[in-house]
Structure 1
Amino acid sequence: MLFSLSIMAAIAYTALAALIFFAQSSLIYYPESGRNLIETPGDRGLGYESVEIPTSDGETLHGWFIPVPAAAGAVLFFHGNAGNISHRMDYLLMFHRLGYNTLIFDYRGYGQSSGSPSESGTYLDAQAAWRYLTEAKGVPPARIVLFGESLGGAVAAWLAMSEKPGALVLASVFTSVPDMAAKIYPFLPVRLLSRFDYTTIEYLRTVTCPVFVAHSSQDDIVPFAHGRALYQAAPEPKQFLELQGGHNSGFIFMREDWVEALGKFIDTHLNASS
């Protein structure tokens, strides 16, 4: 009987490992929850342009460009793995208040963008958005802030390795997908099973721009230790802001602190690079 139970346990373990291996994409990306746009910047009183951004491999990304008069620069926004650009309206209001134009877009497979999401695809999407902002909109690289939340932080950090933005902001971001998987499935050899990297902490080691890291000690999805590790890996000049609240509510709890701290950081370093 013990032998039979051991065999059954081994089969169940192997089946779970196989499921994790083959279903990784659906565990990382939630595009179906982010297909429908629930509102537009216009619903919040913001003027905006609806834009289509071509990628180098033939996809078309949908996004919004929100201008402000006499803008001090521009924010290129990378959202997390669920929802779409219409779920980030509070951020758009914040950047508008700070006096920065914003380009926010949906990755392939999200919102009204074509295609299906993948790690390599999100990197191509990042490059396409950067080209649009620097070429079509004519924003100098040194006046661009890359802002990434959660998974979007990994994409933003990857882009910051090859481009020269004025600053990089990471909000509630993980160190890597394998690190996150090890937290969720400590009983599985997830580092061997993982087909995704998004190694934010490694990207940061070669970033040369100022870095702002924000993370909540109460984050219920990405451990606070990830945020601290990213801050330690980031080059100087850098700043850490400890948030309050859960993974998706830290911005709400800390709105005024966010606006003040981030505004000062961006203004200081973008003006210094001018």
Structure 2
Amino acid sequence: MAFAKELGRRMKKNLCFMMLILFLLNAGCTNLFFYPEKEFIDNPAAKKLAPLDVYFKTPDRLKLHGWFFQAKQEARATILFIHGNARNLSVHAGSVLWLVDEGFNVFIFDYRGYGRSEGKPGIDGIHLDAEAALETLLTLPGVNKDRIVVFGHSLGGAVAVYTAANTPYKDLIKTLVIDSAFSGYQLIAQEKLAEDFVTWPLQYPLSVLFINDYYSPVRWIKKVSPVPLLILHTDKDEVAPAHHSRILYDAALQPKELWQAAVKGHVSSFTDESVRKKFIMYISNVFQK
């Protein structure tokens, strides 16, 4: 009898320990995707353009924050910019200021838990955030609803694919642009876990068991069509390797284009001036059709 009680006690203790380990592993895998910062950096270039502070609500009643940059003249188009997984919009705004100079309105927002946005980040939640941001963009001053572009960087590219594929406003999106996106949440998690000798043996069970793959862009990118799709990647990206964009391109339907810039770095395609010029021509052609 005493032996049975001791065995039961040990089994219960071991079960609690295993549940704790699984919880920590789950939290660790989820955190592969989110590195938010609440504090804004000083961004004089962004301040000079005097963005409009925009606060809006998500379907689950969180208040999010964004900046709306308005073109000085009549805008070529309005871009919803969905940023990557780290820091906040005060940093990521630096990636889009050149677009404002080129005559575009740009609306950039922070996911839940980033910057001045409420809540905590999660894979389900950030997709709600993007849809709420798109709906909000359509209400902003000077926005021509016939000239809407959705543009995602890195994690934002993955979010942008799901958003463009499923939003009730799909008919208003004239092109989807994604730069340095990964093709799947489980795949990129598995690749990152494989980079460390400690987590290498666990790369497959952890990525499959603890990563929500429902929103993976490779599952949804076919549904983006007939919205024109532009995929950009550098050929030397150590964060999200370029083969992810090839996977997405192969899975997508026409119309689609894949540009691979001969530069080094993550979300660095537009550091090449020739890519910027080509992009402006691409956008012009989209709105001439």
Distance 2:182 2:130 in 1: 18
Counterpart selection for 1:170 from 150, 165, 178: 178
| Identity within the alignment, % | 35
RMSD between superposed Cα atoms in Å = 2.3
Counterpart selection for 2:50 from 47, 50, 71: 47
Deviations 1:85-135 (CA, angstroms, capped at 9, x unpaired) = 111233222211331100000001000111111112111111111111113
Counterpart selection for 2:148 from 124, 141, 144: 144
Distance 2:68 2:144 in 1: 16
Correspondence 1:106 to 2:110: yes
CA contact (8 A) 2:54 2:67 kept: yes
Match of 1:20 in 2: 25
Correspondence 1:224 to 2:242: yes
Letter in 2 for 1:87: V
More off after superposition, 57-66 vs 260-269:
260-269
Distance 2:193 2:46 in 1: 41
User: Relative to structure 1, is the Cα distance of residues 102 and 43 closer, same or farther in structure 2, using a 3 angstrom cutoff?
Assistant: closer
Correspondence 1:200 to 2:250: no
CA contact (8 A) 2:184 2:218 kept: yes
Correspondence 1:76 to 2:80: yes
CA contact (8 A) 1:177 1:199 kept: yes
How far apart are 1:195 and its partner, in Å? Answer: 2.9
User: Relative to structure 1, is the Cα distance of residues 16 and 222 closer, same or farther in structure 2, using a 3 angstrom cutoff?
Assistant: farther
Unaligned regions of 5+ residues in structure 2, if any?
1-18, 195-200
Match of 1:133 in 2: 137
Match of 2:67 in 1: 64
Letter in 2 for 1:192: V
Deviations 1:182-207 (CA, angstroms, capped at 9, x unpaired) = 21234322443233223111111100
1:76 is paired with a residue whose SS is: strand
1:135 is paired with a residue whose SS is: coil
1:181 is paired with a residue whose SS is: helix
Deviations 1:163-198 (CA, angstroms, capped at 9, x unpaired) = 231111111000011011221234322443233223
User: Relative to structure 1, is the Cα distance of residues 259 and 249 closer, same or farther in structure 2, using a 3 angstrom cutoff?
Assistant: closer
1:230 is paired with a residue whose SS is: helix
1:205 is paired with a residue whose SS is: helix
CA contact (8 A) 1:216 1:224 kept: yes
2:230 is paired with a residue whose SS is: strand
Calculate the TM-score normalised by the size of structure 1: 0.85
The alignment of Structure 1 onto Structure 2 pairs a total of residues equal to 256
Indicate the structure (1 or 2) with the bigger Cα radius of gyration: 2
Counterpart selection for 2:95 from 91, 97, 108: 91
CA contact (8 A) 1:98 1:259 kept: no
1:80 is paired with a residue whose SS is: coil
Distance 2:144 2:253 in 1: 22
Letter in 1 for 2:185: V
Letter in 2 for 1:245: K
Counterpart selection for 1:157 from 161, 168, 173: 161
CA contact (8 A) 1:52 1:63 kept: yes
Calculate the TM-score normalised by the size of structure 2: 0.81
User: Relative to structure 1, is the Cα distance of residues 41 and 132 closer, same or farther in structure 2, using a 3 angstrom cutoff?
Assistant: farther
Match of 2:278 in 1: 261
How far apart are 1:18 and its partner, in Å? Answer: 6.3
Deviations 1:207-261 (CA, angstroms, capped at 9, x unpaired) = 0211111111110111110011112222222222212111154443x2x123112
Distance 1:64 1:181 in 2: 30
1:166 is paired with a residue whose SS is: strand
1:23 is paired with a residue whose SS is: helix
